Each structure stands twice: as structure tokens, then as C-alpha cells.
């Protein structure tokens, strides 16, 4: 019986390794990986709303006091991202932790204190999210000589380097944290080995403790981005705006114009100049108007899609959530444009959710409901 259990365990491990290798070889992970991807730290220029004496106050993010910044950046995470480097030097982030032989990787370990902000283009299309904050970053860029190395664990990388199974470089970044003491504490590693990794980890732990020191000045940066799924992204999108319950409006650097050549990740990373953007209220109003246009043409799927976008752009905007729930609960019936359920839904919208709707929309709802 013990022998059978042992064989099952070995088979499971082998299948797991083969599965990871298959994922890498077939490129499946590049399509399916949907996590936040680290970016080079980028200046973030925007006005934000902070709470001062139980009231919202709008203030430029770079003018916030350290305490106000810490209040705004109310999330923390430690994130390890593994990127495989191809022959052209491009990086594709993958959800596996075991190496393939003769491959190159960029492993990024982030500690972030951040706020997650949604972003849309000028037409209200949702692009994705960015993490804006301060933090510490340890980057190891390696080439492996053997397969099966656990490259998701920084200690394992050091052990493998000592055994001659890989080589590479180590880099440390302190992002948005400024003080004389932090500069003094920053080590200068070069090659990867157990000693440099241990020294780097100790230094980062000490620097992390300095975030709350009164002498430390904090400058939030864009540290990671996450694109919305392909079928909800407008590839013709241009200027952007920031949308978050505590954020006013930001948008695009002037050099970015409508172009298919501009990658959405680039937009998420760089477009945050408040000079030429829609407000989130304007974006939400536009999406609601489009949603009702689809509703009156009895296209339930497009209607729900527009209301979904509105919820992401401006959570809790008027009665959008309740209207969307009503539509989703009756979606199957509403796929039939001749269904009497359309009149029933229109009647419910008039009775319960007509607050803030325009007179024109209300009149069309009355016609649809038969009243």
C-alpha cells in the first residue's frame, strides 16, 4: 500500500512539472495570465480627494503630507511576478514557478503600499487598473542552465546560483520613498548569490520600517498595471481618465493621441495628466445614455455591458447597480425582443429607478411599458 501511495505521489509531481513545461512551450500562459504586471516606476500627477475633518478635500497628490499619503494608500501587498524573456528581449509574464532549461527570466518581487485606480479612455471604454503607491522592488534577471529550478522563491535562486545552475544579476529599487537614512541603507548588489540576496532582504526590511518615519517623504508612483480582458478593450482608445471613488479626474500626456499603435499598458502607465480629460461623472452619464439607447432597441446584452462599464467607471452611480441587477435577472427572457417582459422591466424602471433619469428617457420608458 505504501508503495502505491509513493508511486501516485511521484506521478503527480511529474505530471505537475510536465504541465508547467507544456504551458511554457505552448504559450498558453501569455493568453491566460491576468494578474498585475510590474512597470518601471512612473510619475503620477493628479488631484485626489482625501478626508480632512470628515470632509472630502481635493489636493494635488504631490502636495499631500506624509500622513495624508499613508491614508490614501490604504492597501499593501507583496507580489512576485515572473517574466520569461524571449530572443527579442520581450517579456511575457507567466503563472509558473519552475524553470525551463536554457531560458532567461526576470523575477520581480514587490512590496507595495498602494491604491488601485480604474481607468477608461475618452469614450468611456474601460482599459484596466493601475496600482499607484510607494514600495520596494527586488529584481533578479537570470539565465537557467537546468530545468525545474524554483524561480518563484528568491532563496532557491540564491542556492541554485551557488550550485552553478544559473547566473544573473540583482537590482534593488526604492520607489517613492525619500530620506537620507533610506539612501544610506540601500545596498549595491551586483551578481546573484546567497550573500547578496540575504543582504538585500535585510536592507529592504529595514527600509520598509522607515515608511512611517516623520522625516520620510512619500511620492506615489505607478508601479503595476492590469489590462481589462481583450473583448472589453477598445484598441482605438486614446486619452484616459482616472476613476476611483476617492479620485477626481486625470488624463493623458499631450503626446498621446488616438492611435492603434499605443498599447493599453502604455496608456495605463503614463496617461495621467489632468489637462484634457472627461470627469468620471461625464463618463458615467455618457455610458448610461448609451445603455438606454441599447435598452430601447431591446438589445439586452449590449445594455448590460454598458451598465457594467458604468459600474467600473463610477461605482454606486445613481441606480445603475440596481438597474443592472434587474436586467441580469431577466436576461434570458429579454433575449426575445417580442417578450412582454420588456414592458414589465420598463414599468419597474419607472416606478423604482427613475431618479435622475432625463425626461426623454422617462418618456421612452412610458412608451415601452405601455403606460
Distance CA 99, CA 84 (A): 9
Looking at the DSSP assignment, which residues form a beta bridge with residue 84?
Answer: 92, 105
> What value does the CA radius of gyration of the chain take, rounded to a whole number of Å?
25
Distance CA 17, CA 12 (A): 9
Q: How high does pLDDT run on average in the chain?
A: 76
| Residue of 138, 347, 119 lying closest to 228 (CA atoms) | 119
pTM over 0.75, yes/no: no
**What pLDDT does 337 receive?**
94
Distance CA 165, CA 147 (A): 9
Instruction: Choose between 11 and 126: higher pLDDT.
Output: 126
Convert the pLDDT of each residue in 22-49 to its tens digit.
Answer: 434 444 434 444 578 888 898 887 777 7
Convert the pLDDT of each residue in 137-165 to its tens digit.
Answer: 988 888 999 999 888 888 888 888 888 89
SS (H, E, C) 27-68: CHHHHHCCCCEEEEEEECCCEEEEEECCEEEEEEHHHCCHHH
Looking at the DSSP assignment, which residues form a beta bridge with residue 110?
Answer: 79, 137
Residue 123 pLDDT grade (very low, low, confident, very high; cuts 50, 70, 90): low
- The answer to which of 93-102, 139-148, 207-216, 318-327 has the lowest mean pLDDT is 93-102
Distance CA 211, CA 178 (A): 9
**What pLDDT does 272 receive?**
57
Neighbour-count burial of 88, counting CB atoms closer than 10 A to its CB (0-12 exposed, 13-18 middle, 19+ buried): exposed
Neighbour-count burial of 300, counting CB atoms closer than 10 A to its CB (0-12 exposed, 13-18 middle, 19+ buried): buried
Instruction: Choose between 144 and 265: higher pLDDT.
Output: 144
CB 177 within 8 A of CB 143: no
Given a cut of 80, whether residue 237 has pLDDT beyond it is no
Distance CA 346, CA 181 (A): 64
Amino acid at each position: 500500500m505504501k508503495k502505491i501511495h509513493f508511486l501516485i505521489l511521484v506521478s503527480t509531481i511529474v505530471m505537475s512539472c510536465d504541465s508547467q513545461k507544456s504551458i511554457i512551450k505552448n504559450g498558453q500562459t501569455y493568453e491566460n495570465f491576468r494578474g498585475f504586471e510590474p512597470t518601471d516606476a512612473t510619475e503620477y500627477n493628479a488631484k485626489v480627494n482625501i478626508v480632512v475633518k470628515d470632509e472630502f478635500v481635493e489636493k494635488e497628490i504631490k502636495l499631500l503630507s506624509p500622513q495624508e499619503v499613508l491614508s490614501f494608500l490604504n492597501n499593501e501587498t507583496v507580489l512576485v511576478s515572473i517574466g520569461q524573456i524571449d530572443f527579442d528581449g520581450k517579456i511575457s509574464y507567466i503563472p509558473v514557478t519552475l524553470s525551463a532549461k536554457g531560458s532567461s527570466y526576470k523575477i520581480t518581487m514587490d512590496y507595495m503600499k498602494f491604491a488601485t485606480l480604474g481607468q477608461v479612455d475618452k469614450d468611456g471604454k474601460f482599459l484596466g487598473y493601475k496600482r499607484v503607491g510607494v514600495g520596494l522592488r527586488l529584481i533578479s534577471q537570470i539565465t537557467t542552465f537546468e530545468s525545474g529550478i524554483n524561480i518563484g522563491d528568491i532563496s532557491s535562486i540564491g542556492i541554485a546560483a551557488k550550485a552553478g545552475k544559473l547566473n544573473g544579476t540583482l537590482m534593488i529599487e526604492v520607489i517613492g520613498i525619500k530620506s537620507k537614512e533610506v539612501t544610506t541603507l540601500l545596498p549595491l548588489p551586483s551578481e546573484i548569490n546567497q550573500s547578496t540576496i540575504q543582504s538585500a532582504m535585510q536592507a529592504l526590511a529595514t527600509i520598509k520600517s522607515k515608511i512611517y518615519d516623520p522625516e520620510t517623504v512619500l511620492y506615489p508612483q505607478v508601479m503595476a498595471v492590469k489590462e481589462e480582458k481583450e473583448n472589453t478593450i477598445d484598441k482605438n482608445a486614446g486619452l484616459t481618465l482616472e476613476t476611483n471613488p476617492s479620485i477626481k479626474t486625470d488624463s493623458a500626456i499631450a503626446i498621446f493621441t488616438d492611435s492603434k499603435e499605443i498599447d493599453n499598458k502604455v496608456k495605463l502607465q503614463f496617461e495621467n495628466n489632468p489637462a484634457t480629460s472627461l470627469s468620471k461623472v461625464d463618463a458615467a452619464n455618457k455610458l448610461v445614455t448609451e445603455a438606454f439607447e441599447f435598452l430601447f432597441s431591446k438589445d439586452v446584452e449590449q445594455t448590460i455591458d454598458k451598465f457594467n462599464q458604468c459600474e467600473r467607471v463610477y461605482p454606486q452611480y445613481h441606480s445603475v447597480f440596481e438597474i443592472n441587477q434587474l436586467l441580469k435577472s431577466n436576461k434570458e427572457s429579454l433575449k426575445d425582443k417580442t417578450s412582454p417582459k420588456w414592458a414589465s422591466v420598463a414599468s419597474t424602471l419607472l416606478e423604482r429607478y427613475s431618479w435622475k433619469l432625463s425626461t426623454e428617457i422617462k418618456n421612452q420608458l412610458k412608451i415601452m411599458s405601455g403606460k
